[in-house]
A and B are shown apart, each in its own frame.
Chain A
Amino acid sequence: MEKFLLRNVGVPNSHEIDVYIGRGGYQALAKALKEFEPQELVNLVRESGLRGRGGAGFPAGVKWSFLPKGVYPRYLVCNADEGEPGTFKDRVLIEHDPHGLIEGIIISSYACEVEHAFIYIRGEYVFGAKRLEKAVAQAYERGYLGRNILGSGYDLELTVHRGAGSYVCGEETGLLTSLEGDRGHPKLKPPFPASQGLYRKPTIINNVETLFNVPFIVEHGAEWYKGFGTERSPGLKLFCISGHVNKPGVYELPLGTPMMTLINDYAGGPSKPIKTVIPGGSSTPMLPPDVLETLTLDYEALAAAGSMLGSGAVIVVGEGTCIVRLVERLAEFYRHESCGKCIPCREGTDWLYKIMHRIEHGQGREEDIDLLLDICDNISGKSFCPLGDAALGPITSSIKHFRDEYLYHIRERRCMV
């Protein structure tokens, strides 16, 4: 299949502005500024059906249309925090095609009438942040950023901002508090960021990959974009596949592609017989192998299978892996990343980890399985931000599909595998 999102990845010096321009870069920006009023661009993105690629899948154009009329200044924040375990697609775009992202940000900022945009990049991506800083400087030099962009009268500042190691800062309100120079505690919604976000001003937050799609939509049109994918999940998506496959990596596919096409035809097949697949990042419920044959990679099909498309991070787990150990490790992650602001999540993730730990270490009791589910029930829907709920996916789904393995661990005081 022809590549769009990954078209520059693997091209020598693809991060340099001249290479990018030589391959047709910044033409969508010129077109957007010349041929579109901001509101027309919002409509175009809405028509394209582009949904947020950060995990929740909310339609981008609809989010943009929530900006309150006539309220300025407005901000746009590109979420490059990429912390969901299993996810590494934004890093590929940032490192290999920083100008593609910058072009997407400029067009989206123009559409939303934003005067200052930010890229919040996770602190560990030092190399990516340097690439972005340099690319931003190049874009300023060539007049794609700053005052009167390409003679259009539109002005935009773009600032690269590094996080410093905190998963919850990927959650949009946590991200904004962090960008304001505070501890990254999430905030209550409403008010939603589109009406009161950064510095209490209207703010649009979108994932790297979401914004990266925008220039293609401007260039080829909404109908072209909808030609990919399914009716309700249109467009192109990056899938990061890792774990027990022969060729892990990032692959670009239309939404709705069969799961087994990704695993077999792109990722070189499983390296061991598949025990389970976590389809959309560590928090999405794991799936048993028997559903994989007919499963397609789109928002609806994954929801119908009891899981989520999430960030598009497919983690393949082979036979011989201890599920209890794997889930214990994820429980440890969520406990570590809970920001402590609300009790259900702070206390709940701590208990979940402690119980998983004792089962894994041969000290579990049979009641522990119900206790785990009971705690999950007490966190579900009662935590202040979605991190609390995210912690439950691995636990509830593993008990559903691998209860035997839990029981074996508890009774025999050791691994089944």
Chain B
Amino acid sequence: MLSENAKAEIEQLKGKYPDPKSALLPALYVAQREHGWLSPEVMRDVAEVMDLPPAEVASVASFYTMFNRQPVGENLIQVCTNISCSLLGAEHIVEYLKSKLGIDVGETTPDNKFTLVTVECLGSCGTAPMMQVNDTYYENLTEEKIDRILAELAERKG
């Protein structure tokens, strides 16, 4: 499952730390970047390169919200609904995205383009309301801004 390149990258990461086990989170990121999510098979490969029991790798991965243990759409839309964002209308942003995408929170569009989730504070409270799509922050959201962002993302080739 895991490519030879990815395995080599993980080996290299292990050398960056006084104890190679510290490279586990970075290794899981490498695996997720390659596969989009962490299937049991992929985690088993990570365990092998990391020289750790597969159950331990699965247990660590499950502790952290950023490791997807289920497949997600091409674009993972994460709307912050914590305090500063909700003071400035995060709930409305979520409702708007739900109606635009025709899905509920936690769901993926049938074309697999978008998954919608709500998340905790992303450290962008001064530019609320905001969302993160994959790695990118989109701040000071309005309906028009969301229309533009979704149109751009939908056009992008998967």
Binding site for B on A (CB under 8 A): 73, 82-88, 90-91, 116, 122-127, 159, 161-167, 178-184, 199, 240-244, 248-250, 278, 282, 313, 315, 317-318, 321, 326, 329-330, 333, 336-337, 339
Nearest B-chain residue to A240, judged by Cβ: B126
Question: Once the chains bind, are B82 and A184 in contact (CB under 8 Å)?
Answer: no
| Structural contact, B64 and A163, CB atoms closer than 8 A | yes
Residues of chain A within 8 A (CB-CB) of B24 are 181
Within the complex, which residue of B29, B60, B83 is in contact with A182, where a contact is CB–CB below 8 Å? B60
CB neighbours (8 Å) of A329 from chain B are 81-83, 86
Total count of chain B residues near the partner, CB < 8 A = 39
Pair B84/A243 contact, Cβ less than 8 Å: yes
B126 touches A242 (CB 8 A): yes
Contact A162 B135 (CB under 8 A): no
Task: Quote the shortest CB–CB distance from B143 to chain A (angstroms).
Answer: 20
Q: In the complex, what residues of A have CB within 8 A of residue B158's CB? A: none
Q: Is the CB of B18 within 8 A of A124?
A: no
Task: State whether A85 and B128 are in contact (beta carbons under 8 Å apart), knowing that A164-B25, A165-B65 are contacts in the complex.
Answer: no
Contacts A85-B83, A243-B87 given; indicate if A159 touches B63 (C-beta within 8 A): no
> Contacts A181-B25, A199-B19, A248-B125: A336 and B67 contacting too (C-beta < 8 A)?
no
User: What's the nearest-Cβ distance from chain A to residue B11, in Å?
Assistant: 15
B18 close to A199 (CB less than 8 A): yes
Asked if B18 and A123 sit within 8 Å, CB to CB, the answer is no
Whether B123 lies near A162 (C-beta < 8 A) is no
Known: A180-B21, A243-B87, A329-B86. A162 touches B121 (CB 8 A): no
A162 to chain B, nearest CB (A): 7
Chain A residues, Cβ within 8 Å of B64? 123, 163-166, 184
B123 touches A88 (CB 8 A): yes
Is there an interface contact between A326 and B86, defined as CB atoms closer than 8 Å? yes
Q: Mark B97-132, 1 if CB is under 8 A from A, else 0.
A: 000000000000000000000001111111110001
A180 to B64, CA, bound (A): 14
B17 to A86, Cβ gap below 8 A?
A: no
What are 6 of the A-B contact pairs (CB < 8 Å)? A83-B123, A85-B121, A86-B121, A124-B66, A315-B125, A318-B87
Kindly list chain A residues whose C-beta atoms are within 8 Å of the C-beta of B5. none
Let me know if B49 is at the binding interface, CB within 8 A. no
Partner of A333, one of B16, B82, B125, B136: B82
A181 to B59, CA, bound (A): 11
Picked from A87, A182, A282, the residue with its CB within 8 Å of the CB of B123 is A87
Q: Which of B22, B28, B82, B126 has the most CB of A within 10 A?
A: B126
6 A-B pairs besides A181-B23, A240-B126, A329-B86 with CB distance below 8 A are: A116-B18, A165-B67, A180-B19, A241-B126, A244-B87, A329-B83
List of B residues within 8 angstroms of A199 by Cβ = 18-19
Instruction: Name the distance in Å between B43's Cβ and chain A's nearest Cβ.
Output: 14
A182 to chain B: closest residue by CB:
B60
Counting chain A CB atoms within 10 Å of each CB, the highest count among B23, B88, B123, B132 belongs to B123
Q: Identify the closest chain A residue to B126 (Cβ).
A: A248
Complex Cα gap A305–B52 (Å):
50
- Assess A159 versus B16: contact at CB under 8 Å? Given A88-B125, A167-B120, A333-B120: yes
Q: How far is the CA of A6 from the CA of B10 in the complex (A)?
A: 37
| B30-70 interface code vs A (CB 8 A; 1 in, 0 out) | 00000000000000000000000000000110011111000
Q: Is the pair A282, B83 in contact by a Cβ cutoff of 8 Å?
A: yes
Contacting residues, chain A, for B123 (C-beta < 8 A) = 82-83, 87-88, 90-91, 122, 124-125
- Are A248 and B127 in touch, CB under 8 angstroms? yes
A267 and B93 alpha carbons, distance in the complex (Å): 24
From known contacts A85-B84, A161-B25, A330-B83, infer whether A124 and B59 are also in contact, taking CB-CB under 8 Å. Answer: no
Q: Which residues of B contact A249 (CB under 8 A)?
A: 126
Q: Out of B120, B124, B125, which one reaches A336, CB within 8 Å?
A: B120
Cβ-closest 3 pairs across A and B: A165-B65, A164-B64, A181-B24
Q: Is the CB of B81 within 8 A of A166?
A: no
Given contacts A249-B126, A250-B126, contact A124 B132 (CB under 8 A): yes
CA distance A396 to B83 in the complex (A): 17
User: For the complex, what is the distance from the CA of A85 to the CA of B59, rounded to whole Å?
Assistant: 26
Q: Given contacts A180-B21, A243-B88, are A88 and B124 in contact (CB under 8 A)? A: yes
Indicate if the CB atoms of B82 and A88 lie closer than 8 Å.
Answer: no
Question: With A181-B23, A336-B120 in contact, is A73–B63 under 8 Å at CB?
Answer: no
Minimal Cβ-Cβ distance residue in A for B80: A85
